[in-house]
Amino acid sequence: MTDKQPQTRLDARYSDETATATAWTDAEKLLSEAELFWISTVRPDGRPHVTPLPAVWSRGALHFCTGPEERKARNLAANPHLVLTTGTNLWDEGYDLVVEGEAERITDEARLRELAEAWETKYGPFWHFDVADGSFQHGAGHAYVFSVAPRTVFGFGKGEPFSQTRWRFTMED
């Protein structure tokens, strides 16, 4: 887990009176255990693009991979800002997380091997990757790997009590 601790704040406007801010360690656990995320990027013409993908939480950041010709990779080449979301599809139970940040491509092969192992540990042998040429290798194709260190994260507690917690890692918005 990350050593960098965010500024944590409960937003009383969107929280029940009995709600308290969720601890960052609890949010990190949810990010680590989540199997599916939705990535939102922006196309070069300004239109949004959203798609599901698996991701791995490691060293205080989310990591995902994508083929270099996929829409999300092309979007990130023009604009690295993105949002990753995860949670439940229910209105009144569970916890949703929204992670805002910038994607940075990982090319260091030692780090990529660590992440490949993390993928396979989390998702099973279907997600086995070899590492070569600064990317994941899988079958006949290859994928770029990106890291997203959170800038701001929003957490939405659903059910009793409803809550909204914000974790800010920088003072920028």
Q: Is residue 107 in a domain?
A: yes
Q: What is the mean pLDDT of residues 4-26?
A: 95
Percentage of the chain exceeding pLDDT 90 = 94
pLDDT at residue number 145:
98
Percentage of the chain exceeding pLDDT 70 = 97
3-class secondary-structure state, position 128:
coil
pLDDT level of residue 171 (50, 70, 90 thresholds): low
Whether residue 63 has pLDDT greater than 80? yes
Q: Is residue 1 in a domain?
A: no
Range of the domain at 153: 7-168
Which residues, listed in sequence order, are joined to residue 96 by a DSSP beta bridge?
A: 156
Nearby residues of 76 by Cβ (< 8 Å), 6 or more positions away: 41, 82, 103, 146
pLDDT at residue number 3:
58
Q: What is the mean pLDDT of residues 36-47?
A: 97
Nearby residues of 113 by Cβ (< 8 Å), 6 or more positions away: 131
Q: Domain holding 110: CATH number?
A: 2.30.110.10
Q: What's the number of domains the chain is made of?
A: 1
Nearby residues of 126 by Cβ (< 8 Å), 6 or more positions away: none
Q: Is residue 173 in a domain?
A: no
Q: Is residue 2 in a domain?
A: no
Residue-wise pLDDT for 102-153, tens only, equals: 999 999 999 999 999 999 999 999 999 999 999 999 988 999 999 999 999 9
Q: What is the mean pLDDT of residues 66-80?
A: 97
Q: Is residue 30 in a domain?
A: yes
Cis geometry, peptide bond prior to residue 161 (ω within 30 degrees of 0): yes
Is the pTM of the predicted complex or chain greater than 0.85? yes
Q: Is residue 18 in a domain?
A: yes
